[in-house]
Chains A and B, each alone.
Chain A
Amino acid sequence: DGGITQSPKYLFRKEGQNVTLSCEQNLNHDAMYWYRQDPGQGLRLIYYSQIVNDFQKGDIAEGYSVSREKKESFPLTVTSAQKNPTAFYLCASKGLGNTGELFFGEGSRLTVL
Chain B
Amino acid sequence: DQQVKQNSPSLSVQEGRISILNCDYTNSMFDYFLWYKKYPAEGPTFLISISSIKDKNEDGRFTVFLNKSAKHLSLHIVPSQPGDSAVYFCAASPSRSSGGSNYKLTFGKGTLLTVNP
Number of interface residues of A (CB under 8 A): 31
Chain-A contact segment, one of B59-67, B71-79, B102-110: B102-110
A2 within 8 A of B: no
Is B116 on the interface with A (CB-CB < 8 A)?
A: no
B43 touching A43, Cβ below 8 Å: no
Main secondary structure of the interface of A (DSSP, over half): strand
Q: Are A98 and B95 in contact (CB under 8 A)?
A: yes
> Which residues of the other chain, B, contact A6 by a CB distance below 8 angstroms?
43
Q: Are A101 and B34 in contact (CB under 8 A)?
A: yes
Q: Which residue in chain B gives the minimum CB-CB distance to A6?
A: B43
CB within 8 Å of A: which B77-97 residues = 89, 91, 93, 95-97
**B residues lining the A interface (CB < 8 Å):** 6, 9, 32, 34, 36, 41-46, 49, 51, 89, 91, 93, 95-97, 102-110
